[in-house]
Amino acid sequence: MAEPVVGVLALQGDVREHVRALTGSGARARGVRRPEELEEVDGLVIPGGESTTMSKLADEFGLLEPIRKRIAGGMPAYGSCAGMIMLATEVLDGRPDQRGFDGIEMTVRRNAFGRQVDSFEAPVEIDGLPGPRFHAVFIRAPWVERVGDEVQVLGRVTDGPAADRIVAVRQGNLLATSFHPELTGDLRVHRYFVDLVRNAG
């Protein structure tokens, strides 16, 4: 699969930035708002935004169950920030009616690093990414408190009061980061995911 088709869940959040990063990483990228559009993609990016709003909109647009089924069937998916929350099997500090895609066996704490005013940037070393540490942008970011046996921890914060917190994971064809690589101009995370989609195809 030379040029996989990768969708970006286009209900809310930084969709255009992900489309641009995916296009620069060798994929054909397109927004996904309807179940029929989901059927046309080889992989899916779930962007940052507001996870409770995203959960509600996914249900209203009839995408919640179709995405769950495709993920359970092996479709590669990558979630950044709110997307990480949507891929988790357990969410702490979320709304009681919040629903996600139940893809990665992990417990994620919503807004763990604080509110918008507490946003920060930090270098993160990510397993499988060549080159220097990734300059990560954290905006109202979650962190991972527990992972299942099949989950590979790819990256942790190395400095500051949140040192050693898990911020990047992979389980099979599913990838998630607490941070926003689409805002940095560094395409390594998106290239990693596009390669994952290509290999899965």
Q: Is 135 helix (H, G, I), strand (E, B) or coil?
A: strand
Residue with tokens 């704490």: 109
How far apart, in Å, are the Cα atoms of 51 and each of 11, 20, 94, 101, 176? 11, 22, 8, 11, 14
Q: Is 180 a catalytic residue?
A: yes
Q: Which of 18, 39, 65, 81 is catalytic?
A: 81
Alpha carbons 61 and 74: distance in angstroms, whole number: 22
Alpha carbons 197 and 98: distance in angstroms, whole number: 28
Residue with tokens 């507001």: 50
Q: Which of 18, 105, 125, 182 is catalytic?
A: 182
CA nearest to 192, candidates 7, 19, 20, 26: 26
Alpha carbons 105 and 121: distance in angstroms, whole number: 26
How far apart, in Å, are the Cα atoms of 73 and each of 14, 37, 70, 121? 26, 17, 5, 35
H-helix or E-strand spanning residue 24 = none
Positions marked catalytic: 81, 180, 182
